[in-house]
Structure 1
Amino acid sequence: MTDAELAAHLAQVAGRILLEVRASGMFEGKSLGKAGDQTANQFLCHAVRAQRPDDGLLSEESKDTAERLSKKRVWIVDPVDGTREFGEERSDWAVHVALCVDGRPETGAVALPGLGEVLRSDTPGALPPAAKTPRMLVSRTRPASEAVAVADTIGAELFPMGSAGAKAMAVVRGEAEIYLHTGGQYEWDSAAPVAVALAHGLHASRIDGSPLIYNQQDTYMPDLLICRPEWSERVLAEVGKLSA
């Protein structure tokens, strides 16, 4: 099984496990989110260690160690991206599985179990046609002020959505043109979505245009831009004006 096949298989199976946890009726709300996180994390971590024992591993739901920093190849997983949405029985949540090599997100899969879909870096499709009026995805609960300001400047429509993975994949799926985030995330929030987005020909970077580098000692990532390539220069320029 190739790395890409493994990433997609793990994301799909974890998604199926999460749907079963939700359908069990034994949990609701925050307890449902916690049960989903723990169950999916246990599966993903055991599977990665069994299938790729020499690689490093970083998961949102496991205690981080310095061991991964010496590894060339590191798997970065988020068992439930959008725990709140999962607990609320919405569909805008995801499972992330990525392989980063020398800090670059080379392989990834993002499962959208609520939609029955897994998007993969090894099977990129053509981007759907862009809308005439750009659509910008923002957080359901805390839209970043920079995103709102840029949307006003370029005439974009704002679309609130749940998890980072769901938003990034909405751009891949042609449901939006721009995902601009400045509220802070962690490596597991974007590694797999960025791998998939880049494979599909999208732009992905920090909001100053610099590349996204993973497997850092500090896993905090302040900002992110994933968008159609025809919008990257304009959005980066407008963001730059805000910080000038």
Structure 2
Amino acid sequence: MTTDAAASAPHPPAVHNSEDARAAADMATAAGELLLDFRADAHLARLDLGEVRRIGDRISHEFLVAELARRFPADAVLSEEGADDPSRLTADRVWIVDPLDGTREFGEFGRIDWAVHVALVERGRLTAGAVAMPALGVTYSTADAPTPAGPAPAAPRVVVSRTRRPEPVMAMAAALGAELVEMGSAGAKAMAVVRGEVEVYAHTGGQYEWDSAAPVAVARAAGLHVSRIDGSEPVYNQENPWLPDLLICRPELAGTALEALAR
């Protein structure tokens, strides 16, 4: 079953710039390695968890901003941890980064469900992206995103937050007859769909562009359905970076998921 929104939603083909995708992957991976080293040292030093999270955000942000300035000095940057520069709105190329997605999970030693996001928007379109999962030792990018194999199971798996269960997401899960899988950051959830560990990730609780830009780019490159929960296309590099909802799922489940989310 499909909804009108699902049938009419614009889902442009992914544009893969392999050079930019490799750069995104390299930078996300390197930032993740810095975070792993810092977290190990912080654990040994028994630093306060709040301090671990704050310093982790800063270390990754400063590294990514410096690398982007070195590699792409003419490009604009929108980072969760940086001051917004309005000149990005007229720039041809804008990097959207989340230096540490899943700050809460990063501060809980031993957790693996946190990520580093690096994405590129060119003239309004996502053209490259990478999501590093440092604690897993893997980085997913638009250059080599895996495609989930085989059909979706009869009882699909829906990845949800450990702490928040929005009613629309729970209604969608019920409509799909889904099993719930708890996980931390947005990037971790989206990459679980890419890996085929779950089939659906829906978010309705409020996000910003940096939370979803890189995961959306990678998910689209993997052949997954990506949209807002009304079926429309997520749009990036807007004056207000608030982008509150998202659906990433196996294409064959999109119609039922969107219909349930619209109720």
Same fold (TM over 0.5): yes
Counterpart secondary structure, 2:172: helix
> CA separation in 2, counterparts of 1:20 and 1:131?
38
2:96 counterpart residue number? 76
TM superposition shift of 1:233? 1.2
> CA separation in 1, counterparts of 2:78 and 2:155?
38
TM superposition shift of 1:176? 0.3
1:224 counterpart residue number? 246
Task: Indicate the larger mover: 8-17 or 94-103.
Answer: 94-103
1:88 aligns with 2:108: yes
CA contact (8 A) 2:117 2:130 kept: yes
2:192 counterpart residue number? 170
1:212 counterpart residue number? 234
* Runs of 5+ unmatched residues, structure 2: 1-17
1:6 aligns with 2:29: no
1:122 counterpart residue number? 143
> CA separation in 2, counterparts of 1:13 and 1:118?
10
1:41 counterpart residue number? 61
Normalised by the length of structure 2, the TM-score is: 0.89
CA contact (8 A) 1:138 1:144 kept: no
CA contact (8 A) 1:108 1:192 kept: yes
CA contact (8 A) 1:203 1:229 kept: yes
1:200 aligns with 2:222: yes
Q: What letter is aligned with 1:105? A: L
> CA separation in 1, counterparts of 2:136 and 2:239?
34
> CA separation in 2, counterparts of 1:79 and 1:11?
8
> CA separation in 2, counterparts of 1:17 and 1:98?
19
CA contact (8 A) 1:150 1:239 kept: yes
CA RMSD of aligned residues (A): 1.1
* Runs of 5+ unmatched residues, structure 1: none
1:185 aligns with 2:185: no
Counterpart secondary structure, 1:152: helix
> CA separation in 2, counterparts of 1:126 and 1:206?
21
Q: What letter is aligned with 1:5? A: R
TM superposition shift of 1:157? 1.1
- Deviating above 3 A after TM superposition, structure 1's stretches of 4 or more consecutive aligned residues are none
Task: Indicate the larger mover: 138-147 or 75-84.
Answer: 138-147
1:17 aligns with 2:34: yes
> CA separation in 1, counterparts of 2:176 and 2:153?
14
TM superposition shift of 1:128? 2.8
1:109 counterpart residue number? 130
Higher relative contact order (CA 8 A, sep 6+): 2
Q: What letter is aligned with 2:218? A: V
TM superposition shift of 1:136? 0.6
CA contact (8 A) 1:146 1:239 kept: yes
Normalised by the length of structure 1, the TM-score is: 0.96
1:132 counterpart residue number? 154
2:119 counterpart residue number? 98
> CA separation in 2, counterparts of 1:232 and 1:152?
14
> CA separation in 2, counterparts of 1:86 and 1:131?
31
